[in-house]
Amino acid sequence: MKNKFFTLYSYCRTIEGRDFSIVLDLQRTRYIKIPPFLREILFEYLDLPVSEIVDLYKDDQGHILSYLEHLENDKFGFFTDNPEQYPPINLTWRSPGVLNNAILEISDLVEYDYADIISQLEDLNCYHFEIWLHPGFELNALQGVLEKFNESLVKSFDMVIPFDEARPMEDLIRFKEKCHKVNFILIYDSPAHYVDKRNLIIQKQDSLEEMTAKFDRPSEELCINLKFFIESLHFNPFYNQKIAIDKSGFIHNSMMTRPSYGNVKDNKIKDAVSSRSFQELWHASNDKIEELKDSALRYSMMSMEPIEKTDNGYRLKNK
């Protein structure tokens, strides 16, 4: 093996961190921690055959070869005579539209023209929507609006609605059948927790305010896949290409952020989201956030905490 080169699989990336470094496998959705000297080798010296790396580090005990064989056995990499035949994958971020996700908060159907707002968002290639309904709003009042998008390019509507003891589960199922793009329904203020996996309907005891507050907390779950990794290299995946419109029509980066960027009753959405100030948080990648930039897991973290600009980048407001 010493006369061969060692190469990481194309979906495996070495990430340096302050406390530890990792090899991240974006295809098998896993990672392995590695010692500092191995991180240096994987970053700097894979263009050398293993024998030259061993000589460079004066490794008479065979530690380097042992670590590389361990990576091979775990299928993070392999030995080869022709490393040039295995180029790295393209990490260029591509997205077809200006927006890809929108939250609409609704308390009154006549507050603004929801069909027009969804159409404006669709024109910006925004195909995924979350609709949050407040208590007292009749779900059926929205049916006519959503049915208009049955044959559109919109991919999905996820609904967050209040519990109503007078509304049987069969009504929700019929609502989903008529509004073809409704994918998921989450019911809040429910007297009990319930999950209907077949029809993708969940009941939770949390209030809407409690569920909203939970978005303001750091997530301990990691997101390990190629799309998320590439987006995280260039953007903040929580804010990038997303918009939130509150119940009064004010435009925000998210439901937790202020200020607003106009109101849909007076402004076109395209004008608001095209502004440099609105898109600033899109570019606040974890590499630029003080508390996250030194983590080896920064490209797999969806940080949902509010952030603020500093002289040198950004910081988490709650820290």
Query: Does the pLDDT of residue 138 top 90, yes or no?
Result: no
What whole-number percentage of the chain has pLDDT above 70? 97
The domain boundary, picked from 85, 117, 147, lies at 85
Q: Which two tokens stand for residue 302?
A: 């969806």
CA distances to 95, 101, 109, 223, 233 from 158, rounded to whole Å, are: 21, 11, 17, 20, 28
Q: Which helix (H) or strand (E) holds 31?
A: strand 30-34
Q: Mean of the pLDDT values across residues 94-122?
A: 88
Beta strand ranges found along 239-300 (DSSP E) = 242-245, 251-252
Cα 203 from Cα 216, distance rounded (Å):
21
Q: Mean of the pLDDT values across residues 85-90?
A: 92
Q: Are both 158 and 252 inside the same structural domain?
A: yes
Q: Are both 10 and 68 inside the same structural domain?
A: yes
- Which DSSP symbol is given to 291? T
92 part of a folded domain: no
Q: Which helix (H) or strand (E) holds 172?
A: helix 169-178
Query: Does the pLDDT of residue 256 top 70, yes or no?
Result: yes
Q: Are both 282 and 140 inside the same structural domain?
A: yes
29-86 per-position pLDDT tens digit: 999 999 999 999 999 999 999 999 999 999 988 999 999 999 999 999 999 999 999 9
Cα 206 from Cα 51, distance rounded (Å):
60
Q: Which two tokens stand for residue 61?
A: 């005990």
The domain boundary, picked from 21, 54, 85, lies at 85
Q: Are both 280 and 135 inside the same structural domain?
A: yes
217 part of a folded domain: no
Higher pLDDT, 205 or 108: 205
Q: Are both 120 and 203 inside the same structural domain?
A: yes
If one counts the domains in the chain, the total is 2
Q: Are both 65 and 133 inside the same structural domain?
A: no
Looking at residue 220, what is its pLDDT?
57
Mean pLDDT, all residues of the chain: 91
Q: Mean of the pLDDT values across residues 223-239?
A: 95
258-286 per-position pLDDT tens digit: 789 999 999 999 999 999 999 999 999 99
Cα 84 from Cα 81, distance rounded (Å):
9
298 part of a folded domain: no
Q: Are both 42 and 159 inside the same structural domain?
A: no
Q: Are both 78 and 187 inside the same structural domain?
A: no
Cα 198 from Cα 177, distance rounded (Å):
13
Instruction: Give the pLDDT band of residue 214 (cuts 50, 70, 90).
Output: low
140 part of a folded domain: yes
232 part of a folded domain: no
Residue 55 CA to chain centroid, in angstroms?
A: 43
Q: Are both 157 and 248 inside the same structural domain?
A: yes
Sign of the C-alpha dihedral computed for residues 205, 210, 213 and 217 taken in this order? negative
Q: Which two tokens stand for residue 71?
A: 């990576």
**Contact between 125 and 98 (Cβ < 8 Å):** yes
Q: Are both 180 and 51 inside the same structural domain?
A: no
Give pTM, 2 decimals: 0.88
Instruction: Give the pLDDT band of residue 18 (cuts 50, 70, 90).
Output: very high
- Which DSSP symbol is given to 90? P
Query: Does the pLDDT of residue 192 top 80, yes or no?
Result: yes
Query: Does the pLDDT of residue 216 top 70, yes or no?
Result: no
The domain boundary, picked from 85, 113, 133, lies at 85
Residue 167 CA to chain centroid, in angstroms?
A: 33
Looking at residue 319, what is its pLDDT?
57
272 part of a folded domain: yes
Looking at residue 213, what is its pLDDT?
65
259 part of a folded domain: yes
Q: Mean of the pLDDT values across residues 178-183?
A: 94
Looking at residue 47, what is its pLDDT?
94
Q: Are both 23 and 125 inside the same structural domain?
A: no
Q: Are both 249 and 177 inside the same structural domain?
A: yes
Backbone angles phi, psi at 104, to 5 degrees: -120, 125
Lowest mean pLDDT of 154-158, 210-214, 255-259, name the range.
Answer: 210-214
Containing structural domain, residue 137: 101-207+239-287
Looking at residue 217, what is its pLDDT?
47
Lowest mean pLDDT of 7-21, 39-53, 125-139, 211-225, name the range.
Answer: 211-225
299 part of a folded domain: no
Q: Dihedral, CA atoms, 226, 229, 235, 236, nearest 10 degrees?
A: 120
Query: Does the pLDDT of residue 115 top 90, yes or no?
Result: no
Q: Mean of the pLDDT values across residues 159-186?
A: 93
